[in-house]
Structure 1
Amino acid sequence: MRLIAHLLPLLLVAVLPALAKDDTTKDDKKTTSATDGILTLDGTLTSSISEATVPTGHYLSYTSTITLDNGHTVTSTGTGAESTVTSSSSSNGTTTSGNATMVSTSSESLTLLVGGGHTGAANGSTNATATASTSASSTPVVNTQPCNGYTEFCSRKYSNITMVAAHNSPFVKAGNAAANQAFPVTDQLDDGVRMLQFQVHLINSTLYLCHTTCDLLNVGTLEDYLTTVTKWIKTHPYDVVTILMGNYDYVAPGNFTTPIQNSGLMDYVFTPPKIPMALDDWPTVSNMILSGKRAVIFMDYQANQTAYPWLMDEFSQLWETPFSPTDSDFPCTEQRPPNLSQQDAEDRMYMANHNLNIDVSIASISLLLPNTAALNQTNAVSGYGSLGLMAQNCTAMWNRPPNFLLVDYYNDGNFNGSVFEVAAEMNNVTYSAKCCGTASAASNLMPGVSTMGALLVMAGVQFLVSSAF
C-alpha cells in the first residue's frame, strides 16, 4: 500500500487534462467526477467554509496583567493565569524610554534611531508618518536609518504598523495544490514580508511543517526552517520579524523550545514586559532593534506564557477576521477568539485573513486550498474582493488599519508588489521597492489555470493515503 501511495501522484498527473474536463458548474457549487482506471473521485466544491475546517482550540483569558521581572520570569500572577498586574522589563540596548532620541554606538551604519510618538493620521488611524522630537535650541534630529524598510517606522510602536504576512510561509512546492507561496522564506523577507505564518505537526517527537497532513505536503522540520529565518535576521539588524506558529496537533509548548534554541533564534526572541500585551504596551520598533530582540513569536493554541513568556499566546494579544475565508467579501468582523468584547477587540492588534480559498470535500475529506485563479484580484490594490478594499473597510470599521495582512502568493496581484502597496497606503508611506523573489524561484508559482486539476490530484492522494493506513 505504501508503494501505491507513492506511485499514485505520478499516475494522477498523467490524467490531469481528463480530470479537468469533467468539471461541471451549477449555481455556487462544482460537482466533480473523474476516473483514471485506478481511483474514482466524486465530490463537491462548495462556496462556503465548513465548520469542521475552523480550529477550535482552547482560548486563554486574562483579567489583569502578569508581571515579568528583568530576568523575564513571572514574579506576580495574582490569582494565576486568569489575572494580571502592570509591569516592566529592561531592554538590552543603549536606549532611553518615552519620547527621547535613541542613539546607538553598536554600528557605524546606524547613526540615529528616533524613539517616541508620532504625528498625523491616515484613514482615521494612528498609522502615520512619524517625526523626531525636537527642541527650540537644537538642530532637529533626523533619522536616516530605515526600520523594517522605512525611516518613519523607527519611532512607531510595533503595534502601530501594518505588515504583510505570508500565509503558510514554508509551503513552497511547484505543482502542489497545498502550496501557498511561490518563493522561499529568504525571498519573502527580502521582498518585505514581516510576518511568517505556518502550521506545525508533531511526528515521532519531531516538529514538521505540513499543510493539514504531512502526507499531503511536508516541507521539512521546524528547526531547519527557523535556522534559515535566523540567518536572515542576523544579517538584517534593522528589521523586526514576527512568527506565528499554528500548533495543529495542540501539543505542549515545551516541544517548541528545542528547535527554536537549536536554530539560534532564541538569541533574538522578544520577551514582552507584560502578559498579555495590550495595543499601547508594545515598544517602538527602534527600541526592539536597539535591544537586539527582533523576533516576535506567537502560537495560536496551547501557549503557556507563565512557563515560556516569550512564546506568546496569539489570541489574548491579537484577534483575527474569519479564518481561511472562501467569501470574496472578506468581512472585517472578529472571529477568533470567539465572543471578544468590543473594548477588548479595540485594545489589541488584529490580523486580516485575506487568503481566498476553495473548500474541497472529496471522498469525505475536507481540504482548504488556495484559489490561485483569483490571485490577481484577491491581492489587488482596489476593486471588489481586493486586499486594498478589505484594508480600507477594516480601517473604517475599527478606526485603525489591520496590523497584519495575511495573503497567499504575496508576489501575485494586479501588479508585482501590490500587497506591499496596500500596506504602504495603510502606513501612510511610499512603497518604492522592487518585487518579487528571484528568477530561479519564479518557477515555483502554480498558475491559476491549473487549480482544478491540482485540487483533484491532491484530493486523490489524500484519499488513498488515508485509506491505506
Structure 2
Amino acid sequence: TSKSTLATSLASGDTSIVQNATSTSSNTNTDSTTILTGSATTKSSTTLRGNGTASVTSSSPPEPINTTPCNNYPEFCARRYSNITMVAAHNSPFVRTGSAAANQEYPVTTQLDDGIRLVQAQIQWPVNGTVPHFCHTSCDILDAGPITDWLTDIKNWVASHPYDVVTILLGNGNYSTPDKYAPYIESTGILSYAYTPPVVPMNLTDWPTLSQMILRGQRVVFFLDYMANQTAYPWLLDEFSQLWETPFDPVDASFPCTVQRPPDLPADQAKARLYMINHNLNAEVSLLGTSLLVPAVSLLNTTNAANGSGSLGASAETCKSDWGRAPNFLNVDYYNYGSPPGSVFEVAARMNNVTYDRACCGGVGVSGATALLR
C-alpha cells in the first residue's frame, strides 16, 4: 500500500476529498474506499440549573476541501475526464530543429511538465523496416524514431507523477491492424497504467472522475484513429466512435467548429461525445517531392493567442457556444508560442473556470515565431 494526501472515496460513484487527511490505497484495478479519520471541533456553552455554566465540545465533519492537484488543479480531481479541457500537442514526437516538418519545440517530457495532457503522434512503418516509427507523412521527411522510445519516456513521466492523467492519441498512418504494433506498446510497460473502459463506446456520462482513474491506477488513456479493435485490445479505444474532431490540418484561419471526422455524424450524437478542436494553422510546402502541410510558423503567436481574430481563445469560445459545452482537447502546434507565452494554457483554464498562474514554457522564456526561423 502507499500513502498520499489525496483522500478520496468512490462510494456511490462520487469523490470526496478532505483537507489534510491521509489515505491508504492499494494498487489494484478495483475501486477503493478511503477511510477518513479526524474531525473538526466546535465549542458551545450549556447553561445548567442553578448558577453554573458548562462548556461542551462537540465534533462536526470538516469541509470537503481538496489541496492535492490532479492534472495541476485541485478542482479537477472530482471532475469527470469528459468535463475538462486539456491542451494537446499535435504531432508531439516531431521535434527537430530547422525542419519545416516539425510541430513542437520541446520533447514529450517537457511537454508534460508544462501542462500538455494529450499527446498525438502518427505511426508509420519505414520502408523495409521491422519496427514501427513515428514519422511525418513519410519517414524520409521526418523520422522521430521507434515508437517505443517516446512511449517509454511517457511511461516514466507518468510513473513519477501519480496524480496526473495523460491521453495518447495514435494516428495509424499505414492503416495497420493493431496486432502489428501492440506488442511494441506493451514492451514499454506503459500498459500497467492504461485505462480500460467499462462500456464501448463511451459517452460523456460514462467517463470516471480523475480521482477514480488515479485510485484505480488507470491514468493513461489510449485512442487509435483507424483500425481499432477493442474486443482484442480493450485498452486501445476507437477514436471516432467516442471522440470527434474539427477539420484536420486546417488552412483556414477562421477555424470553423464543424465535425469533419467521423464524417456525417449527427449533431445529437456529437453532443454526447468528447471532441477535439484542431487549432493548428498550416501552410503547404513541398519537401523531397512530397506536398506537405506544415505549421504556419510566422502566425504562431496569433494562432495560439488567448484573444483576437484567429486565436485559440476565440476558437474555443465559438465551439463552446456552438456545441453548448467547452472542447475537451485543444490540439496545437508549438504550444510554447502565443500571446503571451502560455496563452494556450490560459485558454484551457478559462474553459475550465480555473486560473492559470504557472510559468511557461520549457524553462526558456522565448516568445515569437522568429526563433523558429533562425
TM-score using structure 2 length: 0.84
Partner of 2:334: 409
- The residue matched to 2:99 in structure 1 has which SS? coil
Does structure 1 residue 210 correspond to structure 2 residue 210?
no
**Quick one: distance in 2 between partners of 1:361 and 1:179?**
14
**Which residue of the other structure, out of 94, 106, 118, is the alignment partner of 1:183?**
106
Structure 1 or 2: more helix by fraction: 1
Q: Tell me: higher relative CO, structure 1 or 2? Use CA pairs within 8 A at least 6 residues apart.
A: 1
Go from structure 1 to structure 2 and tell me whether the alpha carbon gap of 1:101 and 1:221 turns closer, same or farther (over 3 Å shift).
same
Q: How does 1:374-453 map to 2 (within 5 A)?
A: 374-439=299-364, 447=371, 449=373
Kept in 1: contact 2:15–2:212 (CA 8 A): no
- Output the amino acid matched with 1:95: L
Deviation digits for residues 60-110 of structure 1 (CA, Å, limit 9, x no counterpart)? xxxxxxxxxxxxxxxxxxxxxxxxxxxxxxxxx973342252683149xxx
Partner of 1:453: none
Go from structure 1 to structure 2 and tell me whether the alpha carbon gap of 1:411 and 1:269 turns closer, same or farther (over 3 Å shift).
same
Partner of 2:23: 104
- Output the amino acid matched with 1:144: T
**Quick one: distance in 2 between partners of 1:154 and 1:328?**
35
**Quick one: distance in 2 between partners of 1:176 and 1:113?**
54
Does structure 1 residue 234 correspond to structure 2 residue 159?
yes
Partner of 1:28: none
Q: How does 1:65-76 map to 2 (within 5 A)?
A: none
Does structure 1 residue 358 correspond to structure 2 residue 283?
yes
**Quick one: distance in 2 between partners of 1:193 and 1:342?**
28
Partner of 1:119: none
**Which residue of the other structure, out of 272, 287, 292, is the alignment partner of 2:197?**
272
Q: How does 1:334-373 map to 2 (within 5 A)?
A: 334-360=259-285, 365-373=290-298
Q: For residue 446 of structure 1, report the CA deviation from its aligned partner.
A: 7.1
Q: For residue 442 of structure 1, report the CA deviation from its aligned partner.
A: 7.2
**Which residue of the other structure, out of 211, 214, 221, is the alignment partner of 1:296?**
221
Kept in 2: contact 1:276–1:316 (CA 8 A): yes
Partner of 1:168: 91
Deviation digits for residues 240-285 of structure 1 (CA, Å, limit 9, x no counterpart)? 0000000000001112321221111010000000111011100001
**RMSD of Structure 2 on Structure 1 (CA):** 2.4
**Which residue of the other structure, out of 233, 246, 251, is the alignment partner of 1:308?**
233
Partner of 2:177: 252
Kept in 2: contact 1:358–1:369 (CA 8 A): yes
- Output the amino acid matched with 2:324: N
- Structure 2: segments with no counterpart, 5+ residues: 1-7, 27-33, 37-58
Does structure 1 residue 95 correspond to structure 2 residue 14?
no
- The residue matched to 2:149 in structure 1 has which SS? helix
Q: For residue 139 of structure 1, report the CA deviation from its aligned partner.
A: 2.2
**Quick one: distance in 2 between partners of 1:254 and 1:423?**
35
**Quick one: distance in 1 between partners of 2:373 and 2:318?**
30
Go from structure 1 to structure 2 and tell me whether the alpha carbon gap of 1:362 and 1:227 turns closer, same or farther (over 3 Å shift).
closer
**Quick one: distance in 2 between partners of 1:361 and 1:227?**
33
Number of equivalent positions: 331
Deviation digits for residues 346-404 of structure 1 (CA, Å, limit 9, x no counterpart)? 00000000000012357963211110000010000011100000000000000101000
Q: How does 1:54-69 map to 2 (within 5 A)?
A: none
Go from structure 1 to structure 2 and tell me whether the alpha carbon gap of 1:100 and 1:233 turns closer, same or farther (over 3 Å shift).
closer
**Quick one: distance in 2 between partners of 1:448 and 1:100?**
44
Q: For residue 138 of structure 1, report the CA deviation from its aligned partner.
A: 2.5
**Which residue of the other structure, out of 68, 76, 81, is the alignment partner of 1:145?**
68
- Structure 1: segments with no counterpart, 5+ residues: 1-92, 115-135, 451-469
**Quick one: distance in 2 between partners of 1:190 and 1:381?**
21
Go from structure 1 to structure 2 and tell me whether the alpha carbon gap of 1:240 and 1:157 turns closer, same or farther (over 3 Å shift).
same
- Output the amino acid matched with 1:260: I
**Quick one: distance in 2 between partners of 1:210 and 1:100?**
41
- The residue matched to 2:144 in structure 1 has which SS? strand
**Quick one: distance in 2 between partners of 1:236 and 1:98?**
24
Go from structure 1 to structure 2 and tell me whether the alpha carbon gap of 1:304 and 1:435 turns closer, same or farther (over 3 Å shift).
same
- The residue matched to 1:233 in structure 2 has which SS? helix
**Quick one: distance in 2 between partners of 1:430 and 1:194?**
17
Partner of 1:456: none
- The residue matched to 1:105 in structure 2 has which SS? strand
- Output the amino acid matched with 2:74: T
**Quick one: distance in 1 between partners of 2:230 and 2:89?**
25
- Output the amino acid matched with 1:293: Q
Kept in 2: contact 1:372–1:447 (CA 8 A): no
Identity %: 56
Partner of 2:78: 155
